[in-house]
Amino acid sequence: MTMIELNQAGRTFKVKRRTVHAVRDLTFTVAPGEFVGYLGPNGAGKSTTIKMLCGILTPSSGTVRVAGLDPSRRRTTLARHIGVVFGQRTTLWWDLPLKDSFELIRLLYKVDRKVFAERLAELTATLDLGPFMSTPVRQLSLGQRMRGDLAAALLHAPEVLVLDEPTIGLDVVSKAGIREFLARINAERGTTVLLTTHDLGDIERLCRRVMLIDHGRLAFDGTLDDLMASAPGLSSIEEVVTHLYTAGR
Ligand SMILES: Nc1ncnc2c1ncn2[C@@H]1O[C@H](COP(=O)(O)OP(=O)(O)OP(=O)(O)O)[C@@H](O)[C@H]1O
């Protein structure tokens, strides 16, 4: 059983008569319960991959499956199985208090009132949302907003969580809190997590497996230990990743 499956997936964009290959021949699988780091330099194709996983973008070639579904054709059904957080953007309603955004999500996903209340209570406690539950989203700090977005992505209890830079711009304490929360969700609920980040501390703390994409192609797929062993003589993850990003340029 696989939770995420890409088979020679590719995506091109036409820019001024030129074809940009954002993602090429991408083949990998992610099993249920895995916590995978998805790394790559700017412009490597990470966001394009994530958009194909959510069904926002249709692959130009190959196939993509998430929870057994073709995301671009079954986007509504897939929404029940997947949670997505884009660190740079919020999915919450800007002018509404956080709790009203959550209630709208309950209605959208048709979650039973009692089940929802239990989940929300648990997420409120683990993410410490209580102090700003009645605050409009636009007035939240970045760290508070991110915690709100994570709760919003998990209220319908998806099996797979896709995170695009969830710790961007956060201070060390907020980052540690988010990392602890994600580790817990993965361990306790068995949620499959695909994490894109430029913060290698996120990767070190959370991911056993790392995939690295460069120029739209998979350049590395292995454990964090394999990654460290791939560049003998280099001792920090920063050095190893810099080496991989600059190799072949
Ligand atoms: N809508 C689009 N139209 C044209 N080109 C695009 C589009 N979206 C992405 N690209 C191009 O595809 C390539 C991959 O972009 P993508 O956003 O997937 O990279 P990324 O790995 O997420 O980068 P970053 O770390 O900077 O967010 C880049 O060359 C980018 O310019």
pLDDT, tens only, 70-91: 999 999 999 999 999 999 999 9
Tell me the whole-structure pTM to 2 decimals.
0.94
pLDDT, tens only, 157-177: 999 999 999 999 899 999 999
pLDDT, tens only, 19-51: 999 999 999 999 999 999 999 999 999 999 999
Burial 94-133 (b: 16+ CB within 10 A, else e): eeebbbbbbbebbeeeebeeeebeebbeebbebbebeebe
For residues 168 and 146, is the Cβ–Cβ distance under 8 A? no
Any atom of ligand 1 within 6 Å of the Cβ of 42: yes
Reported as type and span, the H/E element at residue 192 is: strand 192-196
Looking at per-residue confidence, does 248 or 114 come out higher? 114
Phi, psi of 176 (to 5 degrees): -60, -40
Which pLDDT does position 248 carry in this prediction? 59
Which pLDDT does position 48 carry in this prediction? 97
Q: Give me the chain's average pLDDT, please.
A: 95
Which pLDDT does position 32 carry in this prediction? 98
Report CA(90)–ligand 1 centroid distance (Å): 19
Q: What is the mean pLDDT of residues 82-106?
A: 94
Q: Which of 16, 47, 164 to mutate to test the pocket of ligand 1 (most atoms within 8 A of CB)?
A: 47
Task: ipTM value, please give it.
Answer: 0.97
Residue (of 10, 11, 24, 32) closest to 194 by Cα position:
32
- 99 pLDDT more than 70: yes
Residues of the chain with CATH 3.40.50.300: 32-58+68-81+159-249
Any atom of ligand 1 within 6 Å of the Cβ of 107: no
For residues 170 and 178, is the Cβ–Cβ distance under 8 A? yes
Q: What is the mean pLDDT of residues 106-127?
A: 94
Which pLDDT does position 159 carry in this prediction? 97
% the chain with pLDDT above 90: 94
pLDDT, tens only, 196-226: 999 999 999 999 999 999 999 999 999 999 9
Which numeric CATH code is attached to 32-58+68-81+159-249?
3.40.50.300
